[in-house]
Every structure is written in C-alpha cells, then in structure tokens.
Structure 1
Amino acid sequence: MDIPQDGFLRLPQIIGDRKRGIPAIIPVCKSAWYEGCRTGRYPKPVHLGPKTVAWSRSAIAELVEKLKG
C-alpha cells in the first residue's frame, strides 16, 4: 500500500470505518489500536487540538512496512 509520507491520518483512515466506506490500513478495532499505542506497538498520536489527535503518515507507512515483515 502506497501511503504519502507527509501530513496526518485520523483514526478512521487507519483502522477503517465500515459505515462510511473507509477501508482499513491496519484492520484492528479502536480499543486494540489505542492499547497498541499505549504499549508502543503502534505509533503515539500527535495532538492537533484539545480533542483532536492524528498520526503521522510517515509513522503509519513505517508501521505498514514493519508489519509486512
């Protein structure tokens, strides 16, 4: 999967959202994603505002390559 290296991704863009038809890059549930962020398996979020978090596109691209093995 080719992910641009600049900018940010919001959670539905990473784990997908069936209701909105957004395919998952990393197919895990929300709680598993946040647990992985907490334990270091997945990248830490970047706070864009008081109630807004996102993840670096480059960090997600690196994660995808790492998971491919």
Structure 2
Amino acid sequence: MIPISKSAWYAGIKAKKYPQPSHALGRVSVWNIEDIRRLIAEASPGAANEQEG
C-alpha cells in the first residue's frame, strides 16, 4: 500500500513520521488501520486543499 522499503518505513517510525506499530505474538508488528488510512490520506495529492476548504 505504501511504496517504500522496509528500512525506510522503520526509519520513518523512528522519526515519528509514520504510525507506531503494536506487537502481536512476539515478533509480529501490526498497525491500526485508521492510522494507516490517515497516513495515506495526508500523503495524497490535494489533501492539503481538502483540509483548507
């Protein structure tokens, strides 16, 4: 869904640019779907215009 490498994704998490994961079953990382949808919406072209209007 988000076209970046795994290392870039985790660097973004560390930089607080991307949502923090939760951990299920030890080593499995999971994300809240609403956090991911919000990230995609904010990164979409025209997102700034929609928020202004």
TM-score of the superposed pair, with normalisation by structure 1: 0.61
Q: Which runs of 4+ in 1 moved over 2 A?
A: none
Which has more helix, going by share of residues?
2
Partner residue of 1:46 out of 19, 22, 30: 22
Query: How many equivalent residue pairs?
Result: 45
RCO higher in structure (CA 8 A, sep ≥6): 1
TM-score of the superposed pair, with normalisation by structure 2: 0.78
Which has more strand, going by share of residues?
1
Same amino acid, percent of matched pairs: 33
Query: Alignment RMSD, CA only?
Result: 0.8
